[in-house]
Chain A
Amino acid sequence: DAGITQSPRHKVTETGTPVTLRCHQTENHRYMYWYRQDPGHGLRLIHYSYGVKDTDKGEVSDGYSVSRSKTEDFLLTLESATSSQTSVYFCAIADGTGVHIQYFGAGTRLSVL
């Protein structure tokens, strides 16, 4: 998975609790992304980062926040998890060159009960 580690890989939590997902890369790529995958929707962009402390919102950012204090780590936080946030979350990285292929991590399966 192109030097990308997502943790945890699986998590079950209760509605209203905070949850943080971590994406760690060893490729020193500038760009990092968080997507969620739901049946019938493909993948949808939540937030992305174009450098340390530089982040921006994606299509489905409501209820999520992110932080990037180091090049290698991109954290996704659900401040107060809801059942609608049950999903598979994928992190992706890209180096910012002309081709700009995004490489994906293994995913985190999150269930909010």
Chain B
Amino acid sequence: ELKVEQNPLFLSMQEGKNYTIYCNYSTTSDRLYWYRQDPGKSLESLFVLLSNGAVKQEGRLMASLDTKARLSTLHITAAVHDLSATYFCAVDGGGADGLTFGKGTHLIIQP
């Protein structure tokens, strides 16, 4: 059974600081996804990581994947308030039979 663990589950940080969210998964996966969710809203796709060593960057967010360690990270650089949200990682166990999600990281960025 595929399990996905995120940590931390809650993070409060100040603007301008850097931080990293970690996502560990238990079995081999073809694809790893990062999503953002604002309160009361839908999920927005941020990154898809397909291969070992993959790195994707968009603005102040950078995601990476280490398939050997079964670990993905989402790094936030010089955080700004607008990045406050809940971030989920999700793993595709193979085929197209749905994603297994982590519990999410609730990120609050304070001025």
Residues of A within 8 A of B (CB): 1, 31, 33, 35, 40-45, 48, 50, 56, 58-59, 90, 94, 96, 98-107
Q: List 12 A-B contacts (CB under 8 A).
A: A40-B103, A42-B88, A43-B43, A43-B88, A48-B96, A48-B97, A56-B97, A58-B97, A90-B42, A101-B33, A102-B33, A107-B42
Asked whether, in the complex, the Cβ of B45 is within 8 Å of the Cβ of A101, the reply is: yes
A58, A94, A98, A104: residue with the most chain B Cβ atoms closer than 10 Å: A104
Which residues of B are found within 8 Å of A50, using beta-carbon distances? 96
Q: Which of B31, B41, B101 contacts A42 (CB 8 A)?
A: B101
> When chains A and B are docked, how far (Å) is the Cα of A103 from the Cα of B44?
7
> Helix, strand, loop or mixed for chain B's interface?
strand
Least CB distance, B8 to chain A, in whole angstroms? 14
- Report A-chain residues with C-beta under 8 Å of the C-beta of B50: 98-99
Minimum CB–CB distance from A11 to chain B (whole Å) comes to 16
Give the complex CA separation of A103 and B43 in angstroms: 8
Assembled-state Cα–Cα distance A79/B69 (Å): 43
A48 touches B104 (CB 8 A): no
A104 touches B42 (CB 8 A): yes
Question: Which residues of chain B (29-48) have a CB below 8 Å from chain A?
Answer: 31, 33, 35, 41-43, 45, 48
Asked if B99 CB lies within 8 Å of chain A CBs, one says yes
In the complex, besides A35-B101, A59-B98, 19 extra interface pairs with C-beta distance below 8 angstroms are: A33-B98, A33-B99, A40-B103, A42-B103, A43-B88, A48-B96, A48-B98, A90-B42, A99-B48, A100-B31, A101-B33, A101-B45, A102-B33, A102-B99, A103-B45, A104-B35, A105-B42, A106-B41, A107-B42
Q: Give the residues in chain B near A98, CB-CB below 8 Å.
A: 50
Given A43-B101, A45-B99: A100 and B42 interface contact (C-beta under 8 Å): no
A residues in contact with B101, CB < 8 Å: 35, 42-44
Quote the shortest CB–CB distance from A113 to chain B (angstroms): 21
What is the bound-complex CA distance between A107 and B98, given in angstroms?
A: 17
Using a CB-CB cutoff of 8 Å, which residues 94-108 of chain B contact chain A?
96-104
